Amino acid sequence: MAILAEEVASLRADIQQLKSDSEEAVPPPPLLASVTASDRKFNTPALAVIHLELSDKQRRQKNVVVRGLHPREDVDDCDLFLQLYEDHLECKPYIDRTKCRRLG
C-alpha cells in the first residue's frame, strides 16, 4: 500500500507540473494595434478582439470576387461587373463604387 501511495503522490506531482508547464506555454494574446477608438469602449481586450473578428466576418460576407473579367480602358471595372452580372443573372446588385477595386 505504501508503494501505491508513493506512486499516486508522484503522479499528482507530475500532473501539477504538466499543468503549470502548459499554462506557461500558452502564447500571450495578440497585440491590439488594430483596435480603433470605437472598439476601445469595451472594458476588456477579449471583447474588443471578438468585436473586430465579427465585424471583419460581416465585411467579408459582402465581398464578391470575379475571375476572368479582362480590363478595358474605355469601360470602368464597376460597369464591366454590372454588365456581366446583368447578362447572366436575373437581378442587379448594389455596388459602392468607392469600394470596388481590381485585385492583382
Query: Per the structure, how many domains does the chain have?
Result: 2
Question: The pTM is what?
Answer: 0.40
C-alpha cell at 40: 476601445
- Looking up cell 504538466 gives 18
State the alpha helices, DSSP H only, in the chain: 2-25, 45-61, 77-88
Q: How confident is the model at residue 38 (pLDDT cuts 50, 70, 90)?
A: low
Verify that 68 and 99 share a domain, yes or no: yes
Q: Are 35 and 18 found together in one domain?
A: yes
57 with 70, same domain? Answer: no
**39 and 55 part of one domain:** yes
- Exposed e or buried b per residue across 86-101, where buried means at least 16 C-beta atoms within 10 angstroms of its C-beta: eeeeeeeeeeeeeeee
Domain that holds residue 36: 2-63
- Whether residues 52 and 95 share a domain: the answer is no
48, 76: one domain: no
- pLDDT for the residue 58: 85
pLDDT attached to residue 43: 57
Nine-digit cell at 82?
454590372
pLDDT, mean over the chain? 76
